[in-house]
Amino acid sequence: MTVTHETIGKGEVLLAVDQVSLSFGGIKAITDVSFDIRKGEIRAIIGPNGAGKTSMLNVINGFYHPQQGKITFKGQTRSKMRPSVAASQGIARTFQNVALFKGMSTLDNIMSGRTLKMNSHFFWQCFRHGPAMAEEIRHREFVEDIIDFLEIQAIRKVPVGKLPYGLQKRVELGRALAMEPDLLLLDEPMAGMNLEEKEDMSRFIIDVNTQYGTTIALIEHDMGVVMDLSDRVVVLEYGRKLADGTPDEVKADQNVIDAYLGVAH
Amino acid sequence: MRNAVLYGDLPALRHKYLGIWQTWTWADVAEMVRAYAQGLHDLGLRHGDTIAIIGTNRPKLYWSMMAAQCLGAIPVPVYADSVAEEMVYVLEHAGVKMAAVQDQEQVDKIFSVADRLPALKAVLYDWGRGLRDYEDDRLHSIDSLIIGGRSHFQKDPRTVSALDDLIEQGKGSDVSVILYTSGTTGRSKGVMLSAERCIAAATDSVAFDQLDENDQVLAYLPLAWVGDHYMNYAQGLVAGFCMACPESTETVEQDLREIGPSFYFAPPRVFENLLTRVTIRMEDAGSFKRWMFKTFIGIAKTYGEDILNGKPVPLGGRLLYALGNLLVYAPLKNVLGFSRIRVGYTAGEAIGPELFSFYRSLGMNLKQLYGQTEAFLYVTVQPDGEIRADTVGPLAPNVEIRLSESGEVLFKSPGMFLGYFKDNERTAETLTDDGFIKTGDAGFFEPESGHLKIIDRAKDVGKLKSGALFPPKYVENKLKFFPNIKEAVLFGDGQDFATCFINIDLTAVGNWAERNNVSYASYQELAGHPEVYDMIADHVTETNRSLAREPLMAGAQIKRFLILHKELDADDGELTRTQKVRRGFIAERYAPLIEALYNGTTLADITTEVTFEDGRKGSISARVKIGDCPVFAPDTGKAA
Amino acid sequence: MFYRETGQFKTNYADDMAVFPILQDRIGIALILVVAFVVIPLAGSNFLLSSVMIPFLVFSLASIGLNILTGYTGLISLGTGAFMGVGAYACYKLTTLFPEVNIVVWIVASGFFSALVGVLFGLPSLRIKGFYLAVATLAAQFFLQWCFTRIPWLYNYNASGAIEVGQRTLFGINVTGAKASLEARYMVLLTIVTVLTWVASNIMHGRIGRSFMAVRDMDIAAELMGIDLLKTKLLAFAVSSFYAGVAGAAMMFLWYGGGEANDAFNINQSFLILFMVIIGGLGSMIGSFFGAAFISMLPTVLKFGLPALGIPLAGATAEHLTYILVGALIIFFLIVEPHGLARLWQIGKQKLRMWPFPY
Amino acid sequence: MPISAWHIEGMVMDILFKVLIDPFLQMGAMPDLFVQTIWDGFVTGVLYALIALGFVLIFKASGVFNFAQGIMVVFAALTLVGLYEMGLPAPLAVLVTLGVMFVLAVAIERVVLRPLVNQPDIILFMATFGITYFLIGLGELIFGGNPKQMITDQLYLPRGAIEVKMLGGFVQFQKIDIAAAVIAVVMIVALAVFFQKTRIGRALRAVADSHKAALSVGISLNQIWVIVWFTAGIVALVTGIMWGARSDVSFGLQVIALKALPVLILGGFTSVPGAIVGGLIIGIGEKLGEFYWGPLVGGGIESWLAYCIALGFLLFRPQGLFGDKIIERI
């Protein structure tokens, strides 16, 4: 995995979606969409509700299996893939409506993001000593860095269920970061946030992108945010690709204006 | 200032970072600081240069001070929360060559005003987040400097000795730090302190309280405040106790609880807020707990202090107190993180007597001291056993004090300052011909105990037309003891009676409103609410009653008051950065209201400009009601 | 109120991640262990040991097992009784085949067999969720129960068709069979329970525990984070059944001293243990103990309690009343605290820590 | 070696024969017996279906997995018989029993469902366990634990059997069984009508879809719950009578409640026709299994065969026969 990581330099195509179509029963969610995500960029996917944005993410990280088309990630092409495999290949994501592990503390949530990287033997786990403990501590250190990075020290031991929405989103981001992903999918990271929270979140997203050099694909409704954050934007509507390009290009695109930006959001 | 090394492996610094208390022994610190100093030196910091220290209490910032002082450079701590404009004045005035700052936020501030700081050569940051893509060759991370220093040592060992020489060159008489006063009056002044005097002062006080390397403190006060610099930094270096830095500003309380300091220093305000929160939280408790709390606090009031002061107490009292200790005091202190406090100090402004005795009655050895930045730090202090709420205690060791004929307190102290930085005439003003420092506070020695009693800022103490003494702060503190009253500003100098502005405490009153389902949309509305007025009126009356008991003060009872429609705020210049009231400023700003207080009307209109969080300005106007209160005949029954 | 946490600060992660980070808690646990290991065996009456402590311990073990599956991993199982049975019979066969090996070893070892069977019946859990899974486990319950009665080899062709516990010793002391003293059995059982509890809590505090809970709280998210659902669930089944198995073996050999599958390991047993877990508190170790204590002691309490209250009862009526009360109490508890006794305990503890403040 | 090899091969062949061929030969050999078995299975199936129906009704409307359905059957039957023994005329007894079931429904709604609204399913599921225990205790307390005779005649249910000569043998149809089948059908039809035509019925269907929808129809959830539980109660009563008439009324009956689970799995938790078809499949399947394959392993496989059928089935169609496909969204 890390090997392929090396082989893809900044600016090269990290993930390519090629003529993907997806449908549930009769309903077509995505029709023949193609676009790519380049290493190190922030890529936005926008579109009206029901445009198939979230479905797109689900396809990318293997939760849905497209009927047609294929997906190339780090040079490996596949049409189907188990989500857990996608994860182990370096795709992490957050969810539209926060999907944290409600029963656990912030710390544990983020720790669980490290699961893939942990492998101490069951035997040691039983005694919580030797390798197991060493591993726990090693990853705790990593996680603490993230906590520090996201400025959530104060809620380290709080059960996430008790947290306000904004913070939950932040924790979720933390959990995704804990996976050290090559590609980070953010599904409406700022939904239902107030201005201040949005600003914080955007700051974090940018910092993630610059600091860790993580490639980010995000869905967002707040046009302002999208245009500031992203390097390139792809616009979907009714499961079809409407436009693709830099924020300015997209803003200028007539179809987009008619279909989306025109509508008050 | 580097003698601290001799404590070897004892913990010098703890910092709750990444979830656990990272610990550095004195040895580590010494090594680190030396490397750091080397790094700074390589960067061009020289003897006599000034370096600004901006940020919250973080180890690396403390080390920055030490390192700088090693080189004989002068650290200038700056209030981290002050906006760029305020900051630039200090930086400019101090002509800083470098700035060691906490994070991106501070870096941004500095760069935003960099053009006005020609001297600025380098900005050092502790926490690199978000600074990745800053292209500015003046920017260095503190770590990189330390590492740089280390490698330099390795490259040629000569630098080691070279550094030693540098350190040796540092003369005790050199200026070791410049602390800028918060500026209760006008522009803040840079107080120059010398190493030897600092140490002298610190040594005295350390001896005075028998602080040693086994003590723990939590450093959470602004770096730039003399309180922190003295209590934690200087004393720490002298006594060699362990200083802990909180994880972040939100977690101070939690961290305090975890560390459980044995030495604690806080301005009255902190204790005030704490008490307020305690009362609020208790009001949410079940009826039984409330009852229990009330009774035992009552018991504590009657016996607690005496027990602490070692006065004889009836056995029954002791038993009750012991029980209370089991049920209330100990747990309470535990929750607040005060359990292990051996010595606690409060200073900065007079503390409300009730407030003071509350904490003492819990068995917390809280003491008062009196001093100021120029004195680094205190001139009078209360030794154990002679603790009084209403005085600031007798002379501190090696301090001389005399009173000017006007009743102003003058002193000479081991730690006294060298003068104001680049401001000789101000220095001259402050010093008397024979080298005493004018405090600007009015006070008097209590004949029997020899305790100094501070009444107020000399120029604030006034007289009513009646000729009765009018000490605003004294009364304000009484008022502020009520959780519901956050701030009070008294007027009456030269008038025929005293009046005051009240700031309600939003948390306390809001909580009260919830419980009595008083609905309100805004601070302003709540402040104007009739029921709130009634409540406050009661408080004021209460205060008057207690004033009446003290012949000296009886005159200063409050006839009329009003509740301000906005909170007094440092951003609007109404308070100093240390949250002290800027009386004069307020007086002129709210002139119409004051007028109203005296011309007997019951309503007054006022429009004021306010500054919002983000620095935008706006203005709010309001119609403010005025309430009246009964006053009481002086109770000559017992003398104060 | 009894907590004095001030000054308890952690300078390394190991301390910070300890199971009992608070000093006072550690003291409390120590006290409990002392009482359990020293005071009770010495002071406890036979009645206390035989009809209170021993059942309580056995059930605790079983409910820990089920709690790992249902509470921590969120998979409902109605087959616990059967898995216990597997343990019991495995132990029986083992000790009859290799009598020389110490019985205690076999009691624990038998857990591995039930773990195996557990995994087998856990296989569907990948595709099946919720009640569907519950039914799948019912299949296990009935099928295994059928095996116990229909496969004579399992009970060594005893005429009685039941397990017959022989004399087995540990350090020369009888620990099983008719001659074994209550104290001996109690001590063995207690040791097993203590150790296994410790192990379980270790597992739950580590990576594995987290992935269990992740699967429980949001299996989709868990999968998208690279947690292999099948592996995790099967592991949960294995661990859970292991505990059930040991509990079953212990039940037969240290408590019942022999008996027949249909009354020991029937569906009702499964339900009973499910109750313990729910009432005690899903996803809580201590909850398992609370639940076990509550359900296992309730009948005893009623049997001897009600008459004491002056309500004279014929045995039968008492039994009926017990049923009614248990039913009512279950509903009652679900209503007042769906998260079980453990939650109540937690709240109480929190209050004590925050004393005198309410929060 | 060859000998033993032969031997083994022989055994294998033997087993294969016994499992795969012999049973069918038997069926062919004695078709009348085969039909008889089918019929028995069919009737059992009908009764399973009835219980399953109770589950489905409640699950559809309140999302509660009502484990207590089985005990409700027993309880209803017991009450009926008990009342009769106390001297009430049969028809009156039936009415009173209905009354009791209604009270029960109300009580459950008040005491259990309302306080537990919005709790996770598992909790409600547990609650129904509580109900089960409670009813067992109560039933035994009032009517005593020992089995009772169902008052078949007094309810004008037929006795005896019709023997039909067919397929070279006699197949015996118990009249009561026929009655059972007929009544079951009638009831199902009635329910269907109730759901399709009446306002309440529509409301119930609405609830199944979304609670808001139901409210918009103008019926409070609480009412709906009462109605549903009451309906389930009626179903329980009928089931109880039928089953009681075939064997006798005892608490052993409640175990058949568990049998309804595999039925539900086949049919899907939310589908009435599913419940019926499932019931029949299970009923017939397990009778055939027991009769033709049981002997191979010493019989008694009835106890688990149903579950294994269901289990096997689950692996291929997790949502059941008539359940609709679940599309997971995130």
Domains of chain B by residue range = 3-212+224-245, 268-414+428-457, 462-628
Q: Is B18 on the interface with A (CB under 8 A)?
A: yes
Task: Please give the CATH topology (third level) of the domain spanning B3-212+224-245.
Answer: Rossmann fold (3.40.50)
Q: What is the pTM of this model?
A: 0.81
Give me the half-sphere count of Cα atoms (radius 13 Å) on the Cβ side of residue B267: 17
pLDDT digits over B5-53, tens only?
A: 334 345 556 666 656 777 888 778 888 888 888 888 888 888 888 888 8
Which subunits sit against B, judged by 3+ Cβ pairs under 8 A?
A, C
Q: What is the mean pLDDT of residues C331-352?
A: 83
A-proximal residues of C, 180-219, CB under 8 Å:
199, 202-203, 205-208, 210-211, 213-214, 216-218
Separation of alpha carbons B440 and B408, rounded Å: 6
Separation of alpha carbons C274 and C141, rounded Å: 13
Cβ density class D56-71: b for 16+ within 10 Å, e for less: bbbbbbbebbbbbbbb
Distance from the Cα of residue C79 to its chain's centroid:
13
**Cβ distance A79 to A36 under 8 Å?**
no
Contacts of A126 in chain C (CB under 8 A): 199, 202-203
Q: Out of B6-10, B105-109, B245-249, give the one with best mean pLDDT.
A: B105-109
What are the φ/ψ torsions at residue B401 (nearest 5 degrees)?
-135, 140
Inter-chain contact A140–B19, Cβ cutoff 8 Å? yes
**Other CB atoms within 10 Å distance of the CB of residue C298:** 17
Q: What is the CATH number of domain B462-628?
A: 3.30.300.30
Rounded to a whole number, what is the distance in Å from the CA of D309 to chain C's nearest CA? 9
Closest CA to B280 of B487, B501, B543, B513: B513
Residue C247 has what pLDDT?
Answer: 94
Using DSSP, state whether D173 is helix, strand or coil: strand
Residue B552 has what pLDDT?
Answer: 67
Q: At residue A182, what is the residue type?
A: D
ipTM of this complex: 0.77
**Cβ distance A57 to A217 under 8 Å?**
yes
Residue D292 has what pLDDT?
Answer: 76
Residue B183 has what pLDDT?
Answer: 55
Question: Alpha-carbon dihedral of residues B208, B213, B217, B218, nearest 10 degrees?
Answer: 150
Separation of alpha carbons A103 and C339, rounded Å: 12
Q: Which residues contact B168 (CB under 8 A, 6 or more apart)?
A: none
Separation of alpha carbons A243 and A37, rounded Å: 15
**Cβ distance B568 to B590 under 8 Å?**
no
Angle at C226 between CA C221 and CA C230, to 5 degrees: 85
**Cβ distance C121 to C140 under 8 Å?**
yes
**Cβ distance B128 to B141 under 8 Å?**
yes
Regarding beta strands D161-166 and D169-174, do their DSSP bridges make them parallel or antiparallel, or are they unpaired?
antiparallel
pLDDT in tens, chain A (265 residues): 333 444 566 678 888 888 888 888 778 888 888 999 999 899 999 888 778 888 888 888 888 888 888 888 888 887 777 888 888 888 998 988 888 888 889 999 999 988 888 888 888 888 887 788 888 888 988 898 898 888 888 888 888 988 888 889 999 999 999 998 999 999 988 888 888 888 889 988 988 888 888 999 999 888 888 888 899 999 888 888 888 888 888 888 888 777 765 554 4
Contacts of C206 in chain A (CB under 8 A): 125, 128, 132, 136
Domains of chain C by residue range = 22-354
Residue B524 has what pLDDT?
Answer: 81
Substitution target in A153, A204, A208 with the highest count of B β-carbons within 10 Å is A153
Give me the half-sphere count of Cα atoms (radius 13 Å) on the Cβ side of residue A253: 19
Query: And the tokens for B335?
Result: 């929750």
Substitution target in A146, A148, A203 with the highest count of B β-carbons within 10 Å is A148
Q: Is B133 on the interface with A (CB under 8 A)?
A: yes
Separation of alpha carbons D112 and D122, rounded Å: 14
Q: What is the mean pLDDT of residues C302-310?
A: 70
Q: Dihedral of CA D241/D245/D249/D254: which sign?
A: negative
Alpha carbon distances (Å) from D100 to A4, A245, B279, D133: 72, 71, 55, 18
pLDDT digits over D261-299, tens only?
A: 788 878 777 777 788 888 888 888 888 887 777 677 666
pLDDT digits over D42-74, tens only?
A: 888 888 888 888 888 888 777 788 888 888 888
Closest CA to C244 of C229, C252, C152: C252
Query: And the tokens for B533?
Result: 């007025």
Residue C261 has what pLDDT?
Answer: 66
**Cβ distance C120 to C241 under 8 Å?**
no
Q: What is the mean pLDDT of residues B214-234?
A: 79
Domains of chain A by residue range = 1-90+182-265, 99-179
Contacts of D327 in chain A (CB under 8 A): 24
What are the φ/ψ torsions at residue C257 (nearest 5 degrees)?
65, 45
Query: And the tokens for D196?
Result: 């399709």
Residue B610 has what pLDDT?
Answer: 66
Query: Above 70 in pLDDT, residue C99?
Result: yes
Q: Give me chain A's average pLDDT, please.
A: 84
Separation of alpha carbons B454 and B370, rounded Å: 9
Closest CA to B610 of B540, B524, B505: B524
Q: Is B251 on the interface with A (CB under 8 A)?
A: yes
Quick one: closest CA in C to D299, which residue?
C150
Q: What is the mean pLDDT of residues B112-127?
A: 84
Q: Which long-range contacts (C-beta less than 8 Å, at least 24 apart) are formed by C50-56?
A: C50/C182, C51/C300, C52/C297, C52/C300, C53/C186, C53/C190, C54/C182, C54/C185, C54/C186, C54/C189, C54/C254, C54/C255, C55/C255, C55/C296, C56/C292, C56/C293, C56/C296, C56/C297
pLDDT digits over A163-215, tens only?
A: 888 889 999 999 999 998 999 999 988 888 888 888 889 988 988 888 888 99
Q: At residue B452, what is the residue type?
A: L
Q: Is B258 exposed, middle or buried (0-12, 13-18, 19+ CB in 10 A)?
A: buried
Alpha carbon distances (Å) from B349 to B455, B557, C249: 10, 21, 73
Which subunits sit against A, judged by 3+ Cβ pairs under 8 A?
B, C, D
Q: Which 8-state DSSP code applies to residue B10?
A: S
Closest CA to C339 of C278, C294, C273, C272: C278
Query: And the tokens for B572?
Result: 């609007």
Residue pointed to by tokens 């102003």: B408
Query: Above 50 in pLDDT, residue B637?
Result: no
Q: Is B130 on the interface with A (CB under 8 A)?
A: yes
Separation of alpha carbons C220 and C230, rounded Å: 12
Inter-chain contact B133–A210, Cβ cutoff 8 Å? yes
Beta partners for B628? B560
Share of chain D above pLDDT 70, in %: 80
What are the φ/ψ torsions at residue C309 (nearest 5 degrees)?
-75, 0
pLDDT digits over D134-181, tens only?
A: 888 888 888 776 777 777 666 667 666 677 676 666 777 777 778 878
**Other CB atoms within 10 Å distance of the CB of residue A96:** 16
Rounded to a whole number, what is the distance in Å from the CA of B337 to chain C's nearest CA? 5
Closest CA to B261 of B57, B481, B75: B57
Q: At residue B211, what is the residue type?
A: L
Angle at A69 between CA A68 and CA A70, to 5 degrees: 130
Q: Classify domain A1-90+182-265 at the CATH superfamily level.
A: P-loop containing nucleotide triphosphate hydrolases (3.40.50.300)
Contacts of C325 in chain D (CB under 8 A): 137
Domains B268-414+428-457 and B462-628 share a fold: no
**Cβ distance D76 to D101 under 8 Å?**
yes
* Number of inter-chain CB pairs under 8 A, C vs D: 134
Alpha carbon distances (Å) from D322 to C139, D277, D284: 22, 10, 19
Using DSSP, state whether D163 is helix, strand or coil: strand
Query: Above 50 in pLDDT, residue B522?
Result: yes
Inter-chain contact A84–C199, Cβ cutoff 8 Å? no
Closest CA to D152 of D189, D171, D180, D173: D180
Using DSSP, state whether D319 is helix, strand or coil: coil
B268-414+428-457 belongs to which CATH class?
mainly beta
Q: Which residues contact B563 (CB under 8 A, 6 or more apart)?
A: B501, B502, B503, B504, B527, B528, B532, B533, B536, B624, B625, B627
C22-354 belongs to which CATH class?
mainly alpha
What are the φ/ψ torsions at residue B282 (nearest 5 degrees)?
-70, -30
CA gyration radius for chain C?
A: 21
D-proximal residues of C, 3-22, CB under 8 Å:
none
Using DSSP, state whether C67 is helix, strand or coil: helix
